[in-house]
Amino acid sequence: MPGDPGRDAYLAEGNAKQARKRVAADALIRDEDGRLLLVHPTYKEGWDLPGGMAEGNEAPEDAVRRELREELGLMITGLRFLCVDWVEPHGPWDDLLGFIFDAGVLSPARAAQVKPSDEEISEHRFLELSEALPLLPDRQRARTLHAWQVLDDGVPRYLRNGVAL
């Protein structure tokens, strides 16, 4: 049944006035030795989890799949939600919802095929968690540690500025 055009216009006007949220979607990807995949972006300092920002009206899980395909040539179908972190406004940035998904364990052959396929990534490494965490920015480090814990206990987390509520 088609909607009422007058009501739809009224709702669209209200929708246009509502706040918009930035959304990031990243992935935990491991090799068979349990090492975590990190990427080195060219557009910012330091290391990061693979993934990136969602585009307008793009679901977080679709965003992480797209980013993995574009930046590393990885086609990932199965994802499992691990955590979401609401990050308050900081510096020039508005608030952010940062999702992390489990993208699984790559076979040795598939891990060997991973390579940056986009100018946004200069290199990648599989690292032990203890080596990977210090390379990540503070916010990403806290989010990653919580997501890693979900791999062990199976309990998804809602975080606020990296702290579980």
DSSP alpha helix (H) spans, 27-160:
60-72, 108-113, 129-132, 138-153
pLDDT of amino acid 83: 98
pLDDT at 16: 77
Q: Which pTM was predicted?
A: 0.92
Query: What pLDDT, on the 0 to 100 scale, is given for residue 72?
Result: 96
Token representation of residue 116: 């940056």
CB atoms within 10 A of CB 132: 20
pLDDT at 2 (0 to 100): 67
User: If residue 84 lies in a helix (H) or strand (E), which one and from where to where?
Assistant: strand 80-87
Average pLDDT over residues 13-20: 80
The C-alpha atoms of residue 31 and residue 45 are separated, in whole angstroms, by 25
140-154 mean pLDDT: 97
CA 48: distance to chain centroid? 10
Provide the strand spans (E) within 18-130.
Answer: 22-31, 36-41, 51-53, 80-87, 96-106, 121-127
Which SS3 state, helix, strand or coil, does residue 110 take?
A: helix
**Which amino acid is residue 143, in one-letter code?**
R
Spatial contact of 71 and 117, defined as CB atoms under 8 Å apart: yes
User: Over 80: is that where the pLDDT of 163 sits?
Assistant: yes
pLDDT in tens, 103-140: 999 999 999 999 999 899 999 999 999 999 999 999 99
Residue 103 pLDDT: 98
Q: How confident is the model at residue 17 (pLDDT cuts 50, 70, 90)?
A: confident
pLDDT category of residue 30 using cuts at 50, 70 and 90: very high
Q: Could you give the CA distance from residue 138 to residue 142 in angstroms, rounded to a whole number?
A: 6
Compute the average pLDDT of residues 68-82.
Answer: 96
CB count within 10 Å of CB 45 equals 7
Lowest mean pLDDT among 3-7, 65-69, 96-100: 3-7
